């Protein structure tokens, strides 16, 4: 998470129970800022501490984008939603390779994540190399993998749809079983037998 913000931001959070386990959602007035996997008590406590630091203040009780995100994720897991419309706050998408320059242009991580969100539809997959090509960085397939690993908005910004060029499933911050379940939900892989 990028702890260096130019200003404080109002934010709110909640934990949403889903078929892949509890997700911690955090949103600002700009949009959904975080989707965190495995939101047990310990992980939630640690993540909230980092969010307080990143946003520079305590959370507020509610932000409308949070309710929208929870509703859309519930509909996604029910199979009723294929395209998320909740606005996104990209402020946590920066990293050492994704920091915006003084011009305000998005860094590499954010460019890759925006290209993924805009150009890889429900039920489809893309290779790391293809995604690097889409952002004009043909030699950056490994860096695309790093950007996927630092994605603060998984599921909504669908890093589970990025796979290895050799046909392998590739990595996933939420765990490979979670990636398989998301791809099965979208019809890319067969549903698990159990």
Residues identified as active-site: 159
Other beta carbons within 10 Å of 117: 17
Burial of residue 142 (number of CB atoms within 10 Å: 0-12, 13-18, 19+): exposed
Q: Give, as one character, the DSSP assignment of residue 89.
A: -
Q: How far apart are CA 177 and CA 179, in angstroms?
A: 5
Residue 181: C-alpha distances to residues 96, 124, 172 (Å): 30, 14, 12
């Amino acid at each position: 998470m990028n702890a260096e913000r130019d200003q404080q931001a109002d934010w709110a959070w909640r934990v949403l129970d889903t078929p892949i386990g509890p997700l911690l959602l955090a949103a600002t007035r700009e949009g959904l800022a975080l989707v965190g996997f495995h939101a047990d008590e310990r992980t939630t406590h640690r993540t909230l501490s980092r969010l307080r630091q990143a946003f520079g203040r305590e959370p507020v009780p509610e932000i409308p984008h949070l309710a929208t995100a929870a509703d859309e994720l519930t509909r996604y897991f029910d199979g009723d939603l294929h395209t998320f419309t909740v606005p996104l706050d990209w402020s946590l998408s920066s990293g050492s390779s994704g920091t915006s320059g003084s011009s305000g242009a998005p860094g590499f991580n954010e460019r890759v994540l925006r290209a993924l969100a805009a150009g890889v539809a429900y039920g489809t997959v893309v290779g790391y190399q293809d995604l690097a090509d889409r952002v004009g960085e043909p030699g950056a397939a490994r860096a695309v993998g790093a950007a996927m690993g630092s994605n603060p908005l998984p599921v909504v910004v669908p890093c589970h749809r990025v796979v290895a060029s050799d046909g392998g499933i590739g990595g996933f911050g939420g765990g490979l079983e979670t990636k398989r379940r998301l791809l099965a939900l979208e019809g890319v892989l067969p549903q698990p037998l159990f």
